[in-house]
Amino acid sequence: MTFASAPRTRKPAPRKIRTLIVDDSAMVRKILSIGLGQDPEIEVMGAAADARVAMQYLVKDRPDVITLDLEMPNMDGLTFLRGLMAKAPIPTVVISSQTQRSAQATVDALAAGAVDVIAKPKMELGGGLNDMMQSIADRVKVAAKAQVEQTPMAPAQVEMPRPSFSTAPTAAPTIAPDWLIAIGASTGGVQALTAVLQSLPADTPPIVIVQHMPEGFTGSFARRLDQTCAMQVREARDGDVLQTGHVLIAPGGLCHMRVQPKGDRLAVELVEGPEVCFSRPAVDVLFKSVARHAKGRVSSAILTGMGRDGAEGQLAIRLSGGRCVAQDEASCVVYGMPKAAYEFGAPEKLVPLSEIPSWLMASCPSAAAPAGQESYRV
């Protein structure tokens, strides 16, 4: 007796990441459409010249990812993004030029819910453009997996004077004067860092941060944080001494940031070098220098982000005697860097973003130190 063979069934092809390009430049739309369309995992569903045309696309269909220019006629990209995130959030990657005006708008967009920022591709032929398009395609694919949440419509940001924070003494014990906090973040980090830093008091130990961001944007990010945080926040400069109540953010660009002794203190050093974990500045470079020179007197945190940067560095901090935590999956935009660190055995625990500030402060030991201690000392 013979039996008919069962028909072979083919697995359906994986669904492509449907992407909507929004940019007022016809050349940029063309470059992005061709470049993203060549990736077998991405489908370009449309290219809109402004936000109004983009909304017409959204009425008909919903993309998985939007790439968004911010400087456009009729309705600017930031206004469009805020409306989108308030009603029907879609992972959005900002494609921004590096002018000061664009950098500020880009940081506002990231704070409003955009998951990533990429420098606008230059109109040049050759391998440089091909490499850039590969990077953009990779970022689009990461963005498609991002957890974006609905956010209330916020008014346009205006420059405000620094708020007055109470400096009255409290009953809390004084934190040891030679303690340090180190933080690493990437995709989704603008919102995460804002939430963490705004919750910390003015007398928090010095904080050093690597946030993956293209050159030209970290200065605007630091200025934005400085307006709303009790601590002083700015982009780091080579030679800056670490001080209580001060936050130093590594500048995007060609340099890594690390700490090194400067007399009896620790200071920031900016050094050129190749990318580490596809990043420059890299969290690993900063964390490994902290592990080497802070002698275990450090609390570290790895927040939301793509990739593995920071995992090895945080493990080095833990092995040196430092304290280590990472953001949990549920509160991450992208659970890449914290997951890698956890798999390395680096963080002591995973905690929600809302608990990171209290964990950091609780991890700093108290000491009978005089009030007003200003500088981190070795």
Q: Which of 23, 50, 69, 309 is catalytic?
A: 309
188 vs 102: CA distance, rounded Å: 19
CATH 3.40.50.300 fits 17-143, yes or no: no
**The pLDDT value given to residue 123:** 58
- Please check whether residue 279 is in contact with residue 303, taking contact to mean a CB–CB distance below 8 angstroms: no
pTM for this model (two decimals): 0.85
**The pLDDT value given to residue 279:** 94
- Please check whether residue 325 is in contact with residue 357, taking contact to mean a CB–CB distance below 8 angstroms: no
Tens digits of per-residue pLDDT, 215-265? 889 999 999 999 999 999 999 999 999 999 999 999 999 999 999 999 889
- Please check whether residue 188 is in contact with residue 115, taking contact to mean a CB–CB distance below 8 angstroms: yes
Three-class secondary structure of residue 176 per DSSP: coil
**The pLDDT value given to residue 160:** 38
51-60 vs 77-87: helix crossing angle, rounded to 10: 30
Say yes or no: do domains 17-143 and 180-363 share a fold.
yes
Q: Which of 186, 299, 300, 363 is catalytic?
A: 186
Please indicate whether residue 284 is annotated as part of the active site: no
**The pLDDT value given to residue 367:** 42
109 vs 105: CA distance, rounded Å: 6
- CATH class label, 180-363: alpha beta
Pick from 169, 170, 158: which is nearest to 228 by CA?
158
Please indicate whether residue 186 is annotated as part of the active site: yes
Please indicate whether residue 33 is annotated as part of the active site: no
Tens digits of per-residue pLDDT, 173-202? 455 568 999 999 999 999 999 999 999 999
* Domain locations in the chain as residue ranges: 17-143, 180-363
Q: Which residues of the chain have pLDDT under 50?
A: 1-4, 125, 155-173, 367-378
